Amino acid sequence: MGILDGRVAVITGCGRGIGRSHALRLAREGASVVVNDLGVAGDGSGPDKGPAHDVVNEIVAAGGKAVASVCDVAAWAGAKEIIDHAIGAFGRLDILVNNAGIVRDGLIPSLDEGQWDIVLDVHLKGHFAVLRHAAAYWKAESKAGRQPTAAVINTTSVSGTVMSNPGQASYGAAKAAISALTLVAAEELAHYGVRVNAVAPAARTRMTLNAPGLGDLLTAKAEEAKATGGFDIYSPDNIAPLVAYLAAPHTDITGRVFLVRGGSISELVNWHIGQTIETDGPWDIDDIANRVPTILSEKVPVNLI
């Protein structure tokens, strides 16, 4: 018996890394899983059907239920096919975990249109397109008198939310937008019985392992944990328990964004109004120049290592 018995989940980008951990954990909790993954490299190149089928085989071998999907989340028709595949294979849909993503890092002056577009397409459009088709299904179920108890978990990042990483204009912009999309979707879809949250994972993945300097440090941390038998705080498996909890029908949390790192879970709070200055009439530029610096908050450095 698991907390997701009888539930049906779609998980995108779950052929490897964090997504694979999500798929295995949700299946272990009793969910039937649509394992969606194009099998591409970290930059989105070289599709391969193998990873999705490999995860399905792992789930089935452990006694779970799963089917593979190799549709592109960034294609409108592909996103719909993913949702239709879940309903066709298992008769319903209860959980959507949007996890698919790639990176094409580069400094703004050297980014070309293609590098920008593909990152926004896979992350932002990919999150929205699959969510939109899932939401249409849940809306129809609600209107038919079959009120869902559904859950969406999006994948954001500290990049674009609490950190501004040079070289990640496209990635940070997409992830910040996903956080905003999460909050809007939580408000809109509550009427149909759908909760929407997001998770920003800090873990060892193909993306982080390829980051200059960071990859070596994460590898060293993993080797240290293995040698000492200690807790591997950067294992991708550390993210899945929160995702499973947020996916459970008894959970009532919605419209929240969480940072998960090892044994640490923090809420990431959206934009808020800080200190304010006011004037009784039209603004004078000299007045602005004198007073605006007095209301600026101190930037707090973020260190996840």
Task: Please tell me which residue in 21, 32, 69, 157 is annotated as part of the active site.
Answer: 157
Plot region of 29 (φ>0 → left; ψ -120 to 50 → alpha; else → beta) = alpha
Helix (H) or strand (E) holding 9: strand 8-12
245 is catalytic: no
Task: Please tell me which residue in 80, 125, 175, 221 is annotated as part of the active site.
Answer: 175
Alpha-carbon separation of residue 281 from 18, 175, 274, 278, 287 (angstroms): 53, 38, 21, 9, 12
137 is catalytic: no
**Sheet with 8-12: strands ordered across:** 66-69, 32-36, 8-12, 95-97, 150-155, 194-202, 257-261, 264-268
For CA atoms 272, 278, 284, 288, the dihedral sign is negative
Helix or strand or coil: residue 53? Answer: helix
C-alpha 137/C-alpha 94 separation (Å) is 10
Residue length of the chain: 305
Number of neighbours of residue 63 by Cβ within 10 angstroms: 8
Task: Please tell me which residue in 137, 171, 192, 234 is annotated as part of the active site.
Answer: 171
32 is catalytic: no
- Active site residue ranges: 157, 171, 175
